Structure formats: structure tokens, C-alpha cells
Amino acid sequence: MSDQTLPPKSGASALDPAKDSLVTTVHLALGGNLGDRRANLSAAIDRLGALLRIDRLSAVYETAPMYVTDQPAFLNMALSGTTDLAPRELLRAVKRIEEELGRNLDGLRFGPRPIDIDILFQGALVMASPDLEIPHPRIAERAFVLCPLADIAADLRHPALGRTIAELLAGAPGRDSVVRVADALEPHPPSPSTI
């Protein structure tokens, strides 16, 4: 199996027991192409563990850049977990993690970055606003998102498109150029030299 199912954490939970009725499953995409790419992914997983209970991690894939092609190759992966954060709270927290790991949030759109974290799905929520769209609006065209997501949620049905992740992947352009390079990563903080 190419993904990793994580055991429950002992001790403190990332979830607030008082908000149990608000807990939703989230699927996130992680990627990066600057610095120590694997260490940056692991550091992001570690920090995300403070926001949500991570349930599954995909394998890691290497992909050519999309949209802005004059930059290094990316490592990409996906994870699923549960959180009691509302969508905009989760977005703010994810952006904070990106900044902590060295991402310039004012940099070139689709340009090089040490880490990028996208909210793909939050339960069956469908929302569109200027600052946040869920499901992520470009999932169907991104094999570099669909390949890792299929590792952990192939049967997940896109709430707006009505197709499963496996079905979307089968029709995605560039899926043959997404190369699996590692099993699921373990979280660990980056060394100061990699940030």
C-alpha cells in the first residue's frame, strides 16, 4: 500500500472536544520545490498535526512545474485528517505555516516556493469567495494533486463535479509524468539551514 495510516496520537489532541459536532474531514495537498523539499514537507506535516488529527499520508511524487515552467521540480503529497476549524480559520493557519517555513506569500503566483499547502476538500462543503474556494478549483487539471490524493482517497466523490478522485485522475492531463519517489514521510522539523 502506498499510503500511511497514522495511529491516534497519545496525549493532547489537536481537536477541541467541546467542538466535536463541528469536526470535519479535510484533504490537503502539500508541495514545494525550494530547499530541502522532503524536510519541508515533513515540517509542514508536523505543524499541521497541531491543527488537525492527521489520519492518512500519501506517498511522495516528483513533478515538473505547471503554469510557470522555468523553476525546479516539485515534490507533492496529500494528507487527510479531521479538524474543528472553520474553513477560513484553517486557511489562515495554513498560510501561517507556509510563512513559518519560508514561503513569501507575496511572491510570483505559481512560482518557486519551499512549501505550498492547499485545502482541497473540507467535508462536502462547496463554497466560493474571493479568498477561498472549496473544493479547490483546479483539482481536475492537476495530476500532481490527484495522484497523491488517489493514494488516500480514490473513492472520494468531488461534491460539485460528482466524480471520484480515481475518475478525475483517469482523465487528468500529465498523469504519466507524476513519478512516485518515496513512501509516506514522517513529520519532523526542518533544520535552520533548510528554511
How much is the pLDDT for 162?
Answer: 95
Which of 27-31, 44-48, 80-84, 185-189 has the least mean pLDDT? 185-189
The strand pairing partners of 31, in sequence order, are: 76, 116
Q: Higher-confidence residue: 14 or 153?
A: 153
Active site residue 20: no
pLDDT in tens, 85-138: 999 999 999 999 999 997 776 666 666 888 999 999 999 999 999 989 999 989
Residue of 55, 118, 175, 180 marked catalytic? 118
Nearest to 61 by CA among 47, 44, 46, 78: 78
Single-letter amino acid code for the residue at 15? L
Active site residue 116: yes
Mean pLDDT of all residues in 1-15: 47
Q: Give burial (CB, 10 Å; 0-12/13-18/19+) of 181.
A: middle
pLDDT in tens, 26-51: 999 999 998 899 999 999 999 999 98
pLDDT in tens, 153-167: 999 999 999 999 999
How much is the pLDDT for 188?
Answer: 56
Active site residue 84: no
Concatenated DSSP letters of 56-118 = EE--EEEE--SSS-SSPPEEEEEEEEEE---HHHHHHHHHHHHHHTT--TTS-TT---S-EEE
Q: How confident is the model at residue 53 (pLDDT cuts 50, 70, 90)?
A: very high
Q: Positive or negative, the Cα torsion across 143, 147, 152, 155?
A: positive
Single-letter amino acid code for the residue at 140? A
Residue of 3, 113, 142, 151 marked catalytic? 113
Residue of 3, 84, 116, 151 marked catalytic? 116
pLDDT in tens, 65-76: 877 777 888 899
Q: How confident is the model at residue 1 (pLDDT cuts 50, 70, 90)?
A: very low
Residue of 37, 53, 103, 142 marked catalytic? 103
Instruction: List domains and CATH numbers for the chain.
Output: 23-186 (3.30.70.560)
pLDDT at 63 over 70: yes
Active site residue 113: yes
